[in-house]
Structure 1
Amino acid sequence: MKRHLNTLFVTTEGSYLAKDGAAVQVRFEKKTLLRVPLHNLDGIVCFGRVGFSSQLAAACADAGVSISLMSPHGRFRAAVVGFSPGNVLLRRQQYRAADDSEVTARIARNCISGKIANCRSVLLRAARDANEEERSSRLKLAAKHLAPILRRVAKADDADTVRGYEGESASKYFAAFDDLTSVEGFQMKGRSRRPPLDPINALLSFLYAMLAHDARSACEACGLDAAVGFLHRDRPGRPGCALDLMEEFRPVLADRLAFSLINRKQVSTKGFDVTSSGAVRMDDKTRKTVLTAYQTRKQDTIEHPFLGEKTTMGLLVHLQARLLARHLRGDLDEYPAFIWK
């Protein structure tokens, strides 16, 4: 079983990462800020202008530690990964499955069924926690509206139909977001990306980027090609399989965490800046708060509903990647999506 490893987030621009024996050394203005053994890391995420040595890149590749390069505000730019240890036969089977419309529809259907079920759980939990009866009722109604879509997804026989239902469910789900928080300034005026146009969209986009990094690492770790998906079709530069895997975790690991940070007032609207183009960005302090909370959330324990084993939230996406690989090999009749309870 894979151990839960940490992710090193480097947010100070101008930092430089170097190999120091079997560890990574973080330097800034010729001072050593941190030294972390590579065997304790699953990945390194660099924000903005952060440099690293070729010796470190080689050591990370050998140790199976991915280096992800992000914009200062969390948009993925590139990754440094080593040779995948996966069986070439698994990837060949993945490519065949991606070209098979029936297999593609089946995997896409299960991914989105898991996502919609988890969206309903987020809304229903929020309804139970709501301190206003009217807000609780609206959240329950929103969850109720997702139920028939979930039933229709289960009967869909092609991936395009699944994508249509996913869009319909997302529209109803995001429409209920204002009832997930009562904090002024975090109201959502529709989902906006590239760029996000309000603080809640900026927060969600950042968390989704972190989740995408983890999903990409999970694919590579078990030998899957992160670029070849089923729900998300091939597009240059897009990690389709990683995006497929992260769908069922968006409500659980990203959305719920975002609203916990807001409702507990760990983040405020003062921590977001509006650029001249209208884009909303997190400041450095808020970004560090979110990263810390994300790492803490990944340490929480949970019982995997399919495997029946205790694990951490951070390992769930790795377990799902392995279950997908088992399905592609023919060991499992279906891909069992993660259903949060």
Structure 2
Amino acid sequence: MNTLYLLEQGCTLSLAGEILRVRKQQQLRQEVSLPTLKQILVFGTSQLSTGVIRVCLYREIRIAYLSRQGRCYGRLLPTGTDDRRLIRQQHSLGEQAQLGIARAVVQAKIHNCRVTLLRCRRRRPQPELEQPIRYLEYFAQKAARAESLEQLRGYEGAAAAQYFPALGCALTGTGFVLVERSRRPPLNPVNAMLSFGYQVLWNHVLAQIELQGMDAYAGVFHTDNNRHPALASDLLEEFRAPIIDALVLWLVNSRVVDAEQDFDYVNGGCYLNETGRRKFLGHFIQRMNEEVQIDDSTLPRWGLIERQVLRFKQFLLRPNQTYQSYRIR
């Protein structure tokens, strides 16, 4: 998905024919071709002209407003993008059908976490990884047989308690430690990158759900309420470890990010600063453009997200079939 990331504060985005122009204090910083664009993510205090907003709504280009730390405040969407027939089908899913999808999602999430640790062990054998790897296999099997969402959430939480400290053992960069997952706020540089990365990827999952005309608020695993697009959080789960966690490992172990220079401590939390965000997003985009082998074909990682959203949509249209989750090998 072609996305414009507005990271620098105080920029303005204007329209000139088929070109979007990013300026700061009258200086041109970037030009983007409008026909190739699918989404704009605005971090912080940049401004979009009325002409830009109007043409984005007309062309169904999503606009998301986020804090500088990556938290999404809201999105601008054109009218008439929902498929009412599809949404009715989505809302009519029974409890057992929802539980079946949730099982597949959580089992795939735990499986992908385990494979991530196995890859770490292949690169650098560590005794500390052996027990978490065994536990993750156990919890993936338990998740496949969970009899309720509550039970499933318990297995997911237990798996996370094993996974994140083990992921921390695989970090070799100076100043980077992960003992446990902290979210609101993230308390150290590793958690800051994980939170930022998950939020950015969540926006891309949400955009694909919107493009397919589904109700992003009607989830199957996360709490369903009027303020949280739960389905985006559901479908994100399968991609956390293979995309964001793997990227964070590479950024740290390759010494791309600096624990002192690329992070700020604000209001009791730790966050990527502007330099850190630029580094992270640059390598995130590069990673998402890389092609991976899937079944008998190859496609960029962007395509993996679209593929899973389409699989969920196909399940809604043919609920007698099973939802196929994304698992790495």
Which range, TM-score by smaller chain? over 0.9
Among 310, 313, 316, the residue aligned to 1:325: 313
User: Counterparts in 2 of 1:257-276, with a 5 A limit?
Assistant: 257-270=247-260, 271-275=262-266
Q: How many residues align structurally?
A: 328
The one-letter amino acid of 1:120's match is: R
Residue deviations 1:6-37 (CA, integer Å, cap 9, x gap) = 21111111101122222322121122222211
Instruction: Check whether the contact 2:173–2:254 (CA below 8 A) recurs between aligned residues.
Output: no
- Give the corresponding residue for 1:109: 103
User: Residue 84 of structure 1 contacts residue 220 of structure 1 at CA under 8 Å; is this kept in 2?
Assistant: no
Cα deviation, 1:234-257, whole Å, max 9, x if unaligned, reads 123211001111100000110010
Displacement after TM superposition at 1:65 (Å):
1.4
> Post-superposition shift, 1:220?
0.7
Q: Which runs of 5+ in 2 are unaligned?
A: none
Deviations 1:155-190 (A, max 9, x none): 113222211111111111112122111223211232
2:6 is the alignment partner of 1:18: no
How far apart are residue 284 of structure 1 and its match?
1.0
Superposed CA RMSD in Å reads 1.4
Note the C-alpha offset of 1:86.
4.5
1:103 maps to a residue whose letter is: A
Q: Which range moved further: 251-260 or 278-287?
A: 278-287
Q: Distance between the aligned counterparts of 2:300 and 2:26, measured in 1?
A: 37
| Percent pairwise identity | 29
Q: What's the offset of the Cα at 1:291?
A: 0.3
> AA paired with 2:110?
I
> SS in structure 1 opposite 2:326?
coil
Q: Which amino acid in structure 2 is aligned with residue 265 of structure 1? A: R
In the superposition, relative to structure 1, how do residues 58 and 184 fare at CA in structure 2: closer, same or farther (>3 Å)?
same
Asked if the contact 2:70–2:196 (Cα under 8 Å) also holds between the matched residues in 1, the reply is yes
| Other-structure match for 2:325 | 337
- 1:204-228 deviation per Cα after TM superposition (whole angstroms, max 9, x unaligned): 0000011101110110111111111
CA contact (8 A) 1:326 1:332 kept: no
Matches of residues 132-171 of structure 1 in structure 2 within 5 Å?
133=125, 135=126, 137-171=127-161
Is 1:249 aligned to 2:239, yes or no?
yes
3-state SS in 2 of match to 1:269: coil
Question: In structure 1, what is the Cα distance between the partners aligned to 2:227 and 2:156?
Answer: 22
Q: State the match for 1:237 in structure 2.
A: 227
User: Is residue 226 of structure 1 aligned with residue 216 of structure 2?
Assistant: yes
Residue among 108, 113, 122 paired with 2:116: 122
Paired residue secondary structure (1:18): strand
Asked if the contact 2:11/2:25 (under 8 Å) is kept, the reply is: yes
Q: 1:75 offset after TM fit, Å?
A: 1.0
Question: Can you list the C-alpha shifts for 1:245-275, whole angstroms capped at 9, x where unaligned?
Answer: 1100000110010010000000010111222
Amino acid at match of 1:121: V
Q: Which residue of 2 aligns with 1:78?
A: 74
Per mean C-alpha deviation after superposition, the further-off stretch among 182-191 and 107-116 is 182-191
- 1:274 alignment partner, SS class: strand
Asked if the contact 1:123/1:140 (under 8 Å) is kept, the reply is: no
Please state if 1:61 is matched with 2:57.
Answer: yes
Q: Distance between the aligned counterparts of 1:331 and 1:75, measured in 2?
A: 34
In 2, the alpha carbon distance for the partners of 1:292 and 1:95 equals: 38
- The letter for the 1-side match of 2:290 is D
Q: What letter is aligned with 1:157?
A: E
Which residue identity lines up with residue 90 of structure 2 in the other structure? Q
Cα shift readout 1:283-335 (whole Å, capped 9, x = no counterpart): 21111000000000001111334xx4321111211110010000011166111
User: Which residue identity lines up with residue 280 of structure 1 in the other structure?
Assistant: C
- The residue number in structure 1 matching 2:25 is 29
SS at match of 1:328: helix
CA distance in 1 between partners of 2:165 and 2:320 (Å):
36
Residues 193/220 of structure 1: CA separation in 2 closer, same or farther (3 Å cut)? same
**d(CA) in 1 for partners of 2:24 and 2:101?**
46
Aligned to 2:183: 193
Using the alignment, how far apart are the partners of 1:258 and 1:244 within structure 2?
A: 21
Matched, 1:46 2:36: no
